[in-house]
Structure 1
């Protein structure tokens, strides 16, 4: 599941509608909506994002947050390491090969390190 899919599911459950009902209102197939919620589809179009925001009648701030989640929820990420060091390329490939084995605690630690610009020794880079 992607962060966007999780957010859509929560909005849908909060509204008390099924995937089938929501899909019909958005003029998409229930299978597509299910795949979108479960992270088996790529990013939705801007048009669909707007229809989803309208369907849930969410305010601008919440809609903007949903749009940001969509942009960071592509389940098929491509990491371009061309022009970077061999270590960068090796790390990207290692992560790609082992990402399914990482538990939530490890994901949290890695996310914190990357977001905060810390080095492995705990010092800021």
Structure 2
């Protein structure tokens, strides 16, 4: 499941909305919406994200969160490390091989550490 998929599923559950009803309202198939929630489809188009925001009638912070989650929800990401330090290639290969074995808490810790380090290096 992608971050966007988890958010959509949570919003639907909170509002008691069936997947088929949401799919019909968004003019997409139930199969597509299910695949999007489960991470079997790439990130949706900007237009579909805007329709999702309107469908749930969210504004401000929640709308921005949906847009942000859509941007980071590509389940088939590839990383080109050409021209980077050898450690970058090693890291991406180790992560690709081992990510499925990591616990959720470990994934969150790694994500937070990478973000913290990237922000620190910019400042």
Q: TM-score, structure 2 length as denominator?
A: 0.90
Shift of 1:49: 0.6
By how many angstroms is 1:54 displaced? 0.7
Cα shift at 1:78: 1.1
Show structure 1 runs of 5+ residues with no match.
119-123
Q: CA deviation at 1:87?
A: 2.0
Counterpart in the other structure of 1:99: 99
Tell me whether 1:75 sits opposite 2:75 in the alignment: yes
Q: 1:61 deviation in Å?
A: 2.2
Number of paired residues? 120
Q: TM-score, normalised by structure 1?
A: 0.89
Q: Name the residue aligned to 2:53.
A: 53
Structure number having the greater helix percentage = 2
Displacement after TM superposition at 1:110 (Å) = 1.4
1:95-116 CA-to-partner distances (Å, cap 9, x unmatched) read 1111101112221321232122
Distance, in Å, in 2 between the alignment partners of 1:56 and 1:20 is: 15
For 2:86 and 2:34, the matched residues in 1 are separated by 39
Structure 1 residue runs of 4 or more that deviate by more than 4 Å after TM superposition: none
| SS of the residue 1:105 aligns to | helix
Instruction: Tell me the CA shift for residue 86 of structure 1.
Output: 1.9
- 1:58-110: CA deviations, max 9, x gaps? 11321111000110111011111010122211211111111101112221321
Structure whose alpha-carbon radius of gyration is higher = 1
1:110 matched to which residue of 2?
Answer: 110
Q: Aligned partners of 1:17 and 1:61: how far apart in 2?
A: 22
Q: For the aligned residues, what is the CA RMSD?
A: 1.6
